[in-house]
Amino acid sequence: MPAFNELMQMNRNDGESESAQTAAYRAAMIREYVHICEENPWFGLGRGNIPVIQNMKSIDNQYLWLSLNYGIPSAALLLLAAFVGIGTLLPPILRNSHADPWYRLDAAIVGILLGAAGAQATVFAGTQTEQFFFLFLGLAGSSELAGRDCPSAVVNSPA
């Protein structure tokens, strides 16, 4: 945690490299906008009502953007949904062979959900993000509900 705390204390002018300046911008953005989230935690400010703070025109964090617009529960539910989808697929991944096509599909869906959930903390991907998550959550649920005893001719490609 010390590294995270140091990052959150960075000033936008502290960084010499572009990466350090970007990290400092994100830290300052979170510090400043969290106070606004705390003022309207349940329902947010409503879409399009986010104030611009100290030349911070871009909110580069999907969860922060959701919290500001729709309240903290909306961001928490989106993140929770991603982890429920991941949790649904972990047991089949752990019990199946790497050669099993279901294993490969499940592992790919988990990778996509983990990557997307992590990326949303560093970017605002637009308003299609929620649909993207729900598409892959649907795939996760369908994969788990699908019959795992499919004939090999159906799931295996010809050699």
- Specify the pTM: 0.69
56 occurs within a structural domain: yes
83 occurs within a structural domain: yes
pLDDT of residue 14: 52
Number of domains into which the chain is organized:
1
Are the C-beta atoms of residues 71 and 137 closer than 8 Å to each other?
Answer: no
64 occurs within a structural domain: yes
Contact partners, residue 52, CB within 8 Å, separation at least 6: none
* Domain housing 77: 2-147
Residue 15 clears pLDDT 60, i.e. is over it: no
pLDDT digits (tens, 9 = 90+) for 61-88: 888 888 888 999 988 988 888 888 888 8
Are the C-beta atoms of residues 52 and 43 closer than 8 Å to each other?
Answer: no
20 occurs within a structural domain: yes
